[in-house]
Amino acid sequence: MSTTSVAFGNPSDRSRSPSDIPWGIEVRDESVIRRVAREGILGLGEAYLKDHWTADRLDEVIYRAFTHPVPRPSPIARLRWVLMVAEQRLFNRQSGPRAFNIGVRHYDLGNDLFRCMLDESMTYTCGYWANARTLNEAQEAKLELVCRKLRLRPGLHVLDIGCGWGNFARYAAQRYGVRVTGITVSRQQAEFARQRCQGLPVEIRLQDYREVSETFDRIVSIEMIEAVGRKNIPTFYRVVDRCLKHDGLFVLQAISANTLSRSSDWRLDQFALWLLKYIFPDGYLPKQSELVELEGTSLRIEDRESFGLDYDRTLLAWASNFNAGWDQLKDQYDDEFRRRWNFYLHGCAAAFRARLIHLYQIVYAKDGSRQIGHAPR
């Protein structure tokens, strides 16, 4: 076994011991150096899965890969990028039964995994840390912020697109007296959400958003749009427009980035390819323009807030919970899964820290007739 002091960083760091710097790397297989030279961050991630290297602060290593020069991919690696871009532009990989693929391959990995990793409310989206000290407080603050922006009051009917394990539905029904219809493409999420929302005016459906036909006073979607696919974003907004009553409000929380395009950052693209392969099949992060240019709908933006740096803290909290609870999970998941999940969580934290990925919470009004301003804090 050999070690190097640093993979990415200032040249002066390379003479220091790995234990002296948080981004020091312990190399366990020399092939990792050739792989990173050939495939950049994608190769770095795949080598990590094979346990060819490790580090005490994985997020710091990946952050420096995002913020320092890395080798441009080889022609073969570039070809993989071109094919991925072409596939997203030419094919609708989220149509029909494939809409449920993300549920089967990611969210149905096991409720025990997510129960170990997430906060008490099982909220798998970014927390709001402005006045929070703990993950539980940050997630409750986010749910409260969404409810206030929706201007909820007793008697309203709310559609929750991508309801997860029922965290928002339960909170809104208990605190604001609204009726909630939640939809998800994950069977395990649906079963869990139904159990936790028993006795509340909440209906949970295993359903594709395109199949919803009713109208609602309010609609919310918290980090689900990333699963609809590039070709379906206009369809997503048309469904919201169709299902939202006149003068209704829609709150969207969305992860946004410029990836897999001619103008995107190569380093982020390499990480995006890794995520598509190992974590979020068929996923797509919408560009900011795709969240604001809503031709063909009567939706108009009333309020927009960005707090992407809060995701860095949220992801590190999830990673801490995941690793602290590994003894409860290791009989169900192998060591390769643990490395895969750690590279995902720490890599996403690093991408938000490097401001390559952003988070927006946007309020839309139907017909643009309401001028609501900022929700009260």
Q: For the segment 349-377, what is each residue's pLDDT rounded down to a tens digit?
A: 999 999 999 999 999 999 865 544 445 44
Say if residues 212 and 241 touch (Cβ distance below 8 Å): no
pLDDT at 93 over 90: no
pLDDT at 2 over 80: no
pLDDT-wise least confident of 91-100, 285-294, 327-336: 91-100
Give the pLDDT band of residue 17 (cuts 50, 70, 90): very low
CA 220 to chain centre: 16
pTM for this model (two decimals): 0.88
Say if residues 359 and 311 touch (Cβ distance below 8 Å): yes
Beta-strand runs (E) in 173-287: 179-184, 202-206, 216-222, 244-256
Name the class of domain 91-366: alpha beta
Write the pLDDT tens digit of every residue in 262-282: 777 888 988 998 999 899 888
Every domain of the chain with CATH number 3.40.50.150 lies at 91-366
Residue 331's contacts (CB-CB under 8 Å, 6 or more residues apart) are none
pLDDT at 231 over 90: no
Residue 56's contacts (CB-CB under 8 Å, 6 or more residues apart) are 18, 22, 24
The mean pLDDT of 150-157, rounded to a whole number, is: 98
The mean pLDDT of 174-203, rounded to a whole number, is: 97
- Count Cβ atoms within 10 A of the Cβ of residue 83 and give its class: 0-12 exposed, 13-18 middle, 19 or more buried: exposed
Q: Which position has the higher pLDDT, 88 or 177?
A: 177
**CA 277 to CA 260: how far, in whole Å?**
14
Write the pLDDT tens digit of every residue in 307-330: 999 999 999 999 999 999 999 999
Catalytic residue among 116, 147, 243, 348: 348
* pLDDT (0 to 100) of residue 34: 83
pLDDT at 95 over 80: no
pLDDT at 200 over 70: yes
* pLDDT (0 to 100) of residue 260: 72
348 is catalytic: yes
Q: Which position has the higher pLDDT, 216 or 259?
A: 216
* pLDDT (0 to 100) of residue 187: 93
The mean pLDDT of 26-54, rounded to a whole number, is: 89
* pLDDT (0 to 100) of residue 230: 87
Give the pLDDT band of residue 99 (cuts 50, 70, 90): low
The mean pLDDT of 222-250, rounded to a whole number, is: 95
**CA 273 to CA 276: how far, in whole Å?**
5
pLDDT at 62 over 70: yes
Mean pLDDT across the chain: 87
Q: Which position has the higher pLDDT, 100 or 212?
A: 212
